[in-house]
Chains A and B, each alone.
Chain A
Amino acid sequence: MSSTSTGALLFSRDLIDFIHGPVAIKVGSCSIARVPSVSQGYGCRISRSDGDVCVFLSESRSASVLRDLRDGGAFSAAFSRPATHRTVQLKASFVQIEPLQPGDQALIDQHGLRAAGELISLGYAPEFSQALMAPEVKDAICVCFRPLVAFDQTPGAGAGQPLGAGL
Chain B
Amino acid sequence: MKPPLSALRRCFEGAVPAVIATCDENAMPNVAYLSQVHYIDEEHVALSFQFFNTTRRNILANPTATILLVDPVTAEQYKLYISYLRTVSEGPLFESMKARLAGIASHSGMSDVFRLKGSDIYRVQRIEPLPGVIPPLPALPAPNLLPVLRRSITRLAASRDLSSLFEETLASLAEEFSMRHAMLLMLDAAGEKLYTVASRGYPHSGVGSEIGLGEGIIGVAAREGVPIRIGHCATEYLYSRAVRESYLRSHASTAIEMSIPLPGLAKSGSQMAVPILDGPRSIGVLYAESPQEMRFTWDDEDALVALSGYLALAITTLQRSSDVIEPAASSTISTEGDGEPVDVCFYRADQSVFINNDYLIKGVAGAILWKLVCDHSALGRDEFTNRELRHDASLRLPDVVDNLEARLILLQRRLAERCNALAIEKTGRGRFRLRVTGELHLRDASG
Contacts and interface: CB of A to CB of B under 8 A. Distances in A.
Interface string B237-254: 000000000000000000
Interface residues of A, number: 41
A85 B27 CA distance: 27
Nearest to B53: A160
B27 A34 contact: yes
Interface string B57-94: 00000101111101011110101010000000000000
Nearest to B16: A132
Contacts of B113: 155-157
Contacts of B16: 132
Contact of A30 (B29, B77, B110, B134): B29
Given A36-B64, A36-B65, A127-B137, A159 B53 contact: yes
Contact of B77 (A40, A136, A156): A40
B68 A128 contact: no
A93 B28 CA distance: 7
Contact of B79 (A38, A77, A135, A156): A38
Contact of B110 (A39, A128, A151, A155): A155
A114 interface: no
Interface string B1-39: 000000000000000100111110011111111000000
Interface residues of B, number: 41
Given A30-B27, A128-B72, A132-B16, A39 B130 contact: yes
Interface stretch (A8-16, A44-52, A68-76, A105-113): A68-76
B114 interface: yes
Contacts of A127: 137
Interface in A73-125: 73-78, 80, 85, 87, 89, 91, 93
A34 B114 CA distance: 29
A89 B79 contact: no
B21 A61 contact: no
Nearest to A36: B21
Residue in A28, A36, A60, A135 with the greatest tally of chain B CB atoms within 10 Å: A36
Interface in A18-33: 26-30
B28 A30 contact: yes
B79 A37 contact: yes
Contacts of B22: 28, 36
A39 to B, nearest CB: 7
Contacts of B23: 28, 30, 34, 36, 74
B54 A40 contact: no
Nearest to A68: B29
A131 B31 contact: no
B202 interface: no
Interface string B380-422: 0000000000000000000000000000000000000000000
Interface of B: 16, 19-23, 26-33, 51, 53-54, 62, 64-68, 70, 72-75, 77, 79, 81, 108, 110, 113-114, 128, 130-131, 133-134, 137
Interface of A: 26-30, 34-40, 58, 60-61, 64, 73-78, 80, 85, 87, 89, 91, 93, 127-128, 131-132, 135-136, 151, 153, 155-157, 159-160
